[in-house]
Amino acid sequence: MRNPLRGKTALVTGGSRGIGAAIVRRMAKEGADVAFTYSKSAKAAAVLVKEVSAYGIKAKAYRADGAVPKSMPGLVGNVLKDFGRLDILVNNAGVFLGGRIGEIKAADYGRVMRINVEAVFALTNAAVRKMKPGGRIINISSVLGERAAGPDMGVYNASKFAVTGFSRSWAKDLGSQGILVNAVQPGPIDTELNPESGESADYQKARTSLGRFGRPEEIAGAVAFLAGPDATYITGATLNVDGGWNA
């Protein structure tokens, strides 16, 4: 089916780079109008808006700070004002700050939880009030949302466990409204924040069955599937896109 998301509006958080930018591009290619957030680079966001508008869709970028969860309802209001509807929400924005228990700063813990958990809750809580049956919530979690990783990862682990848990619980909450909720759990993905080089990268590649990093476009493909017409009986699922990391 060509342009299976035509007539839909998608909101993607953290959409100006990496996995988020790949999702924005894929949503636009599938025909959806796309709103996305960025935190710092207005220039990169503007370039992406221009790029995806070439698909003949409407696109707009919004500056948003996930560290201020109370601002999320306002974001939903702005998207509705500009686009008139909200059909697909992709909670992609996130942050990693490492540190072992007994060493990590409380401020770092708080920042991870505000951005990775509280903002996801606040945005989804506002969005579902405006969604119609057929709406989709797709949370970008992590393979670390299922099992513990190595040292220094506890806070990030906990935040992604929460995102995966939200996805399953919200599927129960929203099924009667016809809104589907799923999580995508990426493995190691080649982005500027996690480049496919260096000692850590070698370890991560060795953990996968395929022996390589994934590409942002491979995550975007999974999101497009869950947002599209072939996933109408899928809710409460966690889709690992991890090259076999969790096999």
Tokens standing for residue 117: 């958990």
Q: What is the pLDDT of residue 1?
A: 63
Structure tokens at 108: 């770092």
Q: In this structure, are strands 88-91 and 136-140 parallel, antiparallel, or unpaired?
A: parallel
What number is the average pLDDT over the span 29-56?
97
* Domain coordinates in residue numbering, the chain: 9-240
Residue 149 clears pLDDT 90, i.e. is over it: no
If you average pLDDT over every residue of the chain, what do you get? 95
Per-residue pLDDT at 152: 87
Give the C-alpha distances (Å, rounded to integers) separating 27 from 10, 13, 17, 87, 228.
Answer: 7, 13, 14, 12, 10
C-alpha distances (whole Å) from 174 to each of 62, 132, 143 are: 27, 11, 24
pLDDT value at residue 203: 83
Q: Greater confidence, 15 or 148? A: 15
Q: Residues 107-119: what's their mean pLDDT? A: 97
Active site residue 156: yes
Mean pLDDT (whole number) for 199-219 = 91
77-91, 146-160, 196-210: range with highest mean pLDDT: 77-91
**Six token digits for residue 49:** 């808006």
Please give the structure tokens belonging to residue 127: 């969005």
Percentage of the chain modeled with pLDDT above 90: 84
Q: Can you give the pLDDT at residue 2?
A: 84
Residue 111 near residue 95, CB atoms below 8 Å: yes
Rounded mean pLDDT of 190-218?
85
Average pLDDT of 151-171?
95
User: For position 197, what pLDDT does the model report?
Assistant: 63
When the candidates are 3.40.50.300, 3.40.50.2300, 3.40.50.720, 3.30.420.40, the CATH number that belongs to 9-240 is 3.40.50.720
Q: What is the mean pLDDT of residues 21-30?
A: 99
Report residue 47 CA to chain centroid gap.
Answer: 20
Contacts 24+ apart (CB under 8 A), 203-206: none
Q: Which of 38, 55, 62, 156 is catalytic?
A: 156
Residue 84 pLDDT exceeds 90: yes
The whole-model pTM stands at 0.96
